[in-house]
Amino acid sequence: MLRQPLRLQGQYRRQADGSLVRQVDSPYRETTTLTAGDAVIERDGRAPRRIALAKVPELAAVQAGFGALLAGDRELLQRTYTVQVQGSRTSWTLQLVPRAPRLAAALERIDLHGRGAELRCVESHPAKGHAQRTLMAGAAAAAAGVEDPSALATLCRDASAAQ
Partner 1 sequence: MTAAPRTATRVVLVLCWLALLALAGLWLGRSLHMEEDLRRFLPTPRTPAQVLLVDELGEGPGSRLLLLAISGATPQALAARSQALRAALAEQPAIAVIANGDDGGLDAVPPHLRPYRYLLSATLDTQPLDAAYLHAELQQRLQDLGSPAADLVEPLLPSDPTLETLRLAEAWQPADAPQQRHGVWFDRAGERALLMVQTHAAGFDGAAQGGAISTIEAAFAAGVQPADTARLEISGPGAFAVAIRARTEAEMRWIGTADTIGLLLLLALAYRRWSTPLLGALPLASGGLAGLGAVALLFDGVHGITVAFGFTLIGVAQDYPIHFFSHLRPGMAPRASVRALWPTLATGVAATCIAYATFLLSGVEGLQQLAVLTMVGLAVAAGSTRWLLPSLVTPARHDPAHSPRLARLWRMAERLPRPRAALAVVALLAAAVAAFSPGPFWENDLSRLTPVPTADLERDARLRAELGAPDVRYLVTVAGADADAALQASERLLPVLQRLRRDGVLDGFDLAARYLPAAATQRARQARLPDDVSLRHALQAALADTPFRDDVFAPFLDDVAAARALPPLGPDDLAGTPLELAVGGLLLRAPDQATALVSLSGLHDPQALEAALAPHGAQLLDLKQASESLVAQWRSRLLGALALAALLLAGVVWLALRARQRVLRVLVPMALATVLIVAVLRACGVELNLFHLVSLILAAGLGLDYALFFEHAGDDRDAQLRTLHAVIVCSLTTLLVFSLLALSSIPVLRAIGSTVAMGVAFNFVLALLVARAPAVERAA
149 binding partner 1? (CB under 8 A): no
Question: What's the rounded Cα separation, in Å, for the pair 102 and 28?
Answer: 31
* Number of residues this chain uses to bind partner 1 (CB under 8 A): 32
Question: What's the rounded Cα separation, in Å, for the pair 2 and 7?
Answer: 11
CA 161 to chain centre: 21
Among 8, 21, 76, 142, binds partner 1 (CB under 8 A): 8
162 binding partner 1? (CB under 8 A): no
3 binding partner 1? (CB under 8 A): yes
23 binding partner 1? (CB under 8 A): no
54 binding partner 1? (CB under 8 A): yes
Among 23, 30, 73, 93, binds partner 1 (CB under 8 A): 30
Among 12, 20, 33, 53, binds partner 1 (CB under 8 A): 53
Question: What's the rounded Cα separation, in Å, for the pair 115 and 38?
Answer: 31
**Residue 5 CB, nearest approach to partner 1 (Å):** 9
Cβ–Cβ under 8 Å, residues 72 and 81: no
Question: What's the rounded Cα separation, in Å, for the pair 141 and 121?
Answer: 12
**Residue 155 CB, nearest approach to partner 1 (Å):** 19
Residues in contact with 64: Cβ distance below 8 Å, sequence separation at least 6, in sequence order: 76, 77, 79, 80, 81
Q: Going edge to edge, which strands form the sheet with 132-135? A: 81-87, 92-98, 107-115, 118-126, 132-135
**Positions in 111-140 near partner 1 (CB under 8 A):** 124, 126-129, 132
58 binding partner 1? (CB under 8 A): yes
What residues line the site for partner 1 (CB under 8 A)?
Answer: 1-4, 6, 8, 24, 27-28, 30, 32, 37-38, 41, 43, 46, 52-56, 58-59, 61-62, 106, 124, 126-129, 132
